[in-house]
Amino acid sequence: MNHPRVTLDQWNALVAVVEAGSHARAAERLHRSQSSVTYAVQQIQSQLGVQVFELDGRKARLTPTGEQLYQRARYLVAEAQALESASGCLSLGWEAELRLAVEVIYPNQRLFDCLERFGQSASHTRVEVVEAVLGHRTTLLDEGKTDLAIYGSVPQGYEGEHLMRVRFLLVAHPDHALHRLGRAVTLRDLRQHRHLVVRETSPERTTATSLQAPQRWTVGHLSTSIEAARRGHGFAWLPEERIGDELRSGQLKPLPMRHGGERFADLYLIFGDRSAAGPAALRLAEILRADALGAVAGAAPAAAVPAPLRPKRSRR
């Protein structure tokens, strides 16, 4: 293995000279003597056999080669600083990676906002998001493949705290035959048309379909169901926050049901193993709770939903 001929300290000196505008100002920035900064840059040129600066009148400017070296050196120095910062976080116990399993009905914008805020606290913790469909999700939890989960129910053996309630609307394209009935829609009417359903990813498949429509398309993802409904291929129960754009633009329209034109699903925050949760997992959970409280404060009051507590089983 060949050892680098140029040290990180020398690359840092080059970056400082370019960004400060002169060797003298670079020396002030680095709290070093001007001669040591000049020597560091000269070492780069001699070790690599290239010319980094050339005179333009009385002012030195980067050569084309020097410009390329500067760009790469800047990246190298930034990576070194990030590595030092990350090692500091890890030494304090912050996890290098965090896995979050989320029901697809959880509002995307809320998820992105929470992850963005989390990144401000733990920029060196990678986050892996696994999306799932409404129902029990014991597999990821039991196999230790997720640190936090946002599920529509609390699997046996785990403790969950109520996070938020999601409103579903029964919708179809404005030109769908059900909208053209000109009256309140009944369950009998629905059974005469195609129902768009999202397949559960959990092996248990615990969520029963309440409407046994003979015509049904079962798709693998919520976005596919939204697209199919938007194109007029059927009707579907869809989370209101996920179809806000389609409702505002008129691409989807709630069906005028005689009874039950809306439904609600509760989401719970679950730790894979709370006793072993690190600072990153606890911080993300705190952010998710705060966001959910803000959502509730900005919405119409809803009935309180108790958080179900299931006995914690022994870990294998």
Residue 37, in any domain of the structure: yes
CATH number at 26 reads 1.10.10.10
Both 32 and 147 in one domain: the answer is: no
The band of 78, judged by pLDDT with boundaries at 50, 70 and 90, is confident
CB proximity list for 255: less than 8 A, separation 6 or greater: 170, 171, 172, 178, 179, 185, 235, 261
CA–CA gap between residue 272 and residue 178 (Å, rounded): 44
Both 277 and 128 in one domain: the answer is: yes
Q: Under a CB-based contact definition with an 8 Å cutoff, are residues 178 and 254 in contact?
A: no
CATH number at 120 reads 3.40.190.10
Residue 51, in any domain of the structure: yes
Q: Under a CB-based contact definition with an 8 Å cutoff, are residues 198 and 104 in contact?
A: yes
Q: Select the more confidently predicted residue: 81 or 42.
A: 42
**Total domains, the chain:** 3
Range of the domain at 121: 97-161+268-297
Q: Can you give the pTM of this predicted structure? A: 0.61
Both 148 and 66 in one domain: the answer is: no
Both 169 and 258 in one domain: the answer is: yes
Q: Which of 61, 91, 121 is the last residue of a domain?
A: 91
Percent over 90 (pLDDT), the chain: 52
Beta bridge partners of 59: 56
Q: Which of 55, 72, 91 is the last residue of a domain?
A: 91
Per-residue confidence (pLDDT) for residue 203, from 0 to 100: 41
Residue 307, in any domain of the structure: no
CB proximity list for 239: less than 8 A, separation 6 or greater: 105, 107, 166, 167, 168, 222, 265
CA–CA gap between residue 92 and residue 79 (Å, rounded): 20
Q: State yes or no: pLDDT of 23 exceeds 70.
A: yes
Per-residue confidence (pLDDT) for residue 85, from 0 to 100: 61
- Pairing type for strands 126-132 and 148-151 reads unpaired
Q: Taking residues 73-101, what's their average pLDDT?
A: 76
**Residue 260 Rama label (left phi>0; alpha psi -120 to 50; beta):** left
The band of 192, judged by pLDDT with boundaries at 50, 70 and 90, is very high
Question: What's the chain's average pLDDT?
Answer: 83
Residue 74, in any domain of the structure: yes
Residue range 206-253, pLDDT digits in tens: 444 456 678 899 998 899 999 999 999 999 999 999 999 999 999 999
H-helix or E-strand containing 20?
helix 8-20
Q: Which of 91, 118, 137 is the last residue of a domain?
A: 91
Residue 313, in any domain of the structure: no
Per-residue confidence (pLDDT) for residue 250, from 0 to 100: 95
Tokens encoding 197: 């359903």
Both 23 and 80 in one domain: the answer is: yes
Both 199 and 244 in one domain: the answer is: yes
> Which of 14-18, 48-52, 200-204 is predicted with the least confidence, judged by mean pLDDT?
200-204
Residue 254, in any domain of the structure: yes
The band of 293, judged by pLDDT with boundaries at 50, 70 and 90, is confident
Q: Taking residues 130-147, what's their average pLDDT?
A: 73
| Secondary structure percentages of the chain, helix, strand, coil, to 5 | 40, 20, 35
